[in-house]
Structure 1
């Protein structure tokens, strides 16, 4: 009997829930052969333990074994080059420094929601809250001037729309052009901050020095700036939008208005668990040597795709995984990755989502979707999914 290799992406009948095929594979074949969207053979990893193993095992890399990508000065690389960059960047991008942003992010979120409320219903929360809050936070983080932010957002929108993982070949030229434009802007920003440092993350990165690791070069600083935009803007925008949909669907949004900090954090954590992967799936990995994963032999060079969406619904680690249960007792959700490439901006992302949802709960407790969830139009790429618009009323 001939068995057909399943092809990604799988059908997703409910836009808020993982494809049902993930659960079926997780139960019988947590490491399974699939065809990637571009037709390549790959291994799809769906169990919590196997996903965590791939993300923490240095035998899996972001580049195929032996591949060389000269000029890659980003955190999206392997080995000592990545470790050095991460050591340097973490000195400026520490949880303590990001925690100091809490009051400012909450102020920005409250201001955007106030503007939404003042404009009267209906409203589009993507255009009027999620996107402007996300890009404003990144702009202030990098020290982008107020008069340049519309241009900066246009560059970020164009670059974030690119799918370099499994995008069609005919779209790659436009994607490369968008990233080149963003990189050009970043180069000018780095040069300006070298001349006149400010009280911002980019100026801190420029100032970072280490006896062993030296300092960040201009090309590394430019790459870091574009990485912050690519990793922070689209994912935060989508996380706020999808989190709002989730809480409205669960009837939970008003509870955030009176929740104490621990309850609010637990609610945000559960929102992020249930949408991790939907907004922010890790980049593909490649096996760098022959090995075994969950009893399955993997050959050097094989493409490996992990799915946080599936891992965070693994009933072996999350009892009643499809229920929304803030404060649940479970394994730590794999929300921002795991291992050496764990997201440095995780504290800021949690803060942005929590601030936006809390501001909505306090100022617009009667908020509701203007249209059924199944009528929402979605943007799709290999690592992030979100609504094109989120029309609400109250």
Structure 2
């Protein structure tokens, strides 16, 4: 996978992602206040990037977005029992669409990631099977669509309430990257980790004995706000000289799409800073309505004015 999804390949997407972000912000600016950053910038940017990444045709984008919306809304952890059938149906529909997309790309490859994944070969494992390609397509949607949308939205809230958005307009790449890293570190507190882990060895944590093989549930929020690694962990301090946050996992489980996620968030926030430096929230933060999802939480709408 890393052969086709490495940082170098994603770096080539930077001009296009920045162009898309600037275009969505320009449309918002041209329409005049007020605006909803979730509906008009964060969501369309996220789904368009994924669509182009996978090679979804323009005439198929609305259908693809509808399937992605339905699948992303599914909550298999805390959802009501009567909702489970609908959730399973939504994922089946997305999987069916992915199967058709894989078949189409096998017949007519393009310059997209999915075509690259079809072509890439591992010396030990050969080519990816259709089942693996379909699973990867749905994983890209599930891991990248909702999380990027929410990270852009929450990042905007953070920067606006801190009065720091305008600084991105003149920030160099290192400063912009540091701001995005801090946004994502603090965003981790709104991201659930309902997936089980297992202890590899006996240990004691905060006075609690844990035996090798025990099932544990861990929070990235705890790691990313550990005062031993992040002094004043609840303060928003871009450019921290500290350990990298565990926003995208670690080691073998580090997120393949991390460079793309950082790129999307940075492009959206920087475009807002350049084109709408006077941007401000229309409503107090405690009036914002939030989604309630087991895996990722974000504002339902983010109304702004300028």
TM-score by length of 1: 0.75
- Which stretch of structure 1 is more off in the superposition, 226-235 or 260-269? 260-269
Q: Within 5 Å, which residues of 2 pair with 1:295-306?
A: 296-299=208-211, 302-306=214-218
Q: 1:302 Cα shift?
A: 4.1
Counterpart of 2:125 in structure 1 is: 213
- Which stretch of structure 1 is more off in the superposition, 317-326 or 223-232? 317-326
Would the alpha carbon gap of residues 281 and 251 (structure 1) be closer, same or farther in structure 2, given more than 3 Å must change? farther
Q: Distance in 2 between matches of 1:328 and 1:307?
A: 21
Is residue 289–residue 300 contact of structure 2 (8 Å, CA) maintained in 1?
Answer: yes
Q: 1:340 Cα shift?
A: 1.9
* Structure 1: unaligned runs, 5 residues or longer: 1-88
The 3-state SS of whatever aligns with 1:292 is: strand
- Which stretch of structure 1 is more off in the superposition, 105-114 or 161-170? 161-170
Counterpart of 2:177 in structure 1 is: 265
Q: 1:371 Cα shift?
A: 0.5
- Which stretch of structure 1 is more off in the superposition, 312-321 or 241-250? 312-321
1:334 to 239, 246, 250: 246
Is residue 277–residue 384 contact of structure 1 (8 Å, CA) maintained in 2?
Answer: no
TM-score by length of 2: 0.95
- Which stretch of structure 1 is more off in the superposition, 249-258 or 281-290? 281-290
Q: 1:260 Cα shift?
A: 1.2
Q: Distance in 2 between matches of 1:372 and 1:341?
A: 37
Q: Distance in 2 between matches of 1:302 and 1:176?
A: 29
Q: 1:189 Cα shift?
A: 0.2
The 3-state SS of whatever aligns with 2:229 is: coil
Q: Distance in 2 between matches of 1:105 and 1:127?
A: 17
Counterpart of 1:318 in structure 2 is: 230
Give 1 or 2: higher helix fraction.
2
The 3-state SS of whatever aligns with 1:392 is: strand
Aligned residues: 306
- Which stretch of structure 1 is more off in the superposition, 331-340 or 184-193? 331-340
Q: 1:269 Cα shift?
A: 1.1
1:120 to 27, 32, 38: 32
Q: Distance in 2 between matches of 1:360 and 1:219?
A: 40
Is residue 193–residue 217 contact of structure 2 (8 Å, CA) maintained in 1?
Answer: no
The 3-state SS of whatever aligns with 2:272 is: helix
The 3-state SS of whatever aligns with 2:190 is: coil
Would the alpha carbon gap of residues 381 and 112 (structure 1) be closer, same or farther in structure 2, given more than 3 Å must change? same
Q: 1:209 Cα shift?
A: 0.9
Q: 1:215 Cα shift?
A: 1.3
The 3-state SS of whatever aligns with 1:297 is: strand
Q: What are the Cα deviations for residues 294-313 of structure 1, in whole angstroms up to 9, with x where unaligned?
A: 66433566442211122111
Is residue 257–residue 362 contact of structure 1 (8 Å, CA) maintained in 2?
Answer: yes
Q: 1:288 Cα shift?
A: 7.1
- Which stretch of structure 1 is more off in the superposition, 292-301 or 89-98? 292-301
The reply on whether 1:103 has 2:11 as its aligned counterpart is no
* Structure 2: unaligned runs, 5 residues or longer: none
Would the alpha carbon gap of residues 365 and 280 (structure 1) be closer, same or farther in structure 2, given more than 3 Å must change? farther
Would the alpha carbon gap of residues 265 and 304 (structure 1) be closer, same or farther in structure 2, given more than 3 Å must change? same
Q: Distance in 2 between matches of 1:147 and 1:100?
A: 24
Is residue 238–residue 279 contact of structure 1 (8 Å, CA) maintained in 2?
Answer: no
Q: Distance in 2 between matches of 1:209 and 1:108?
A: 31
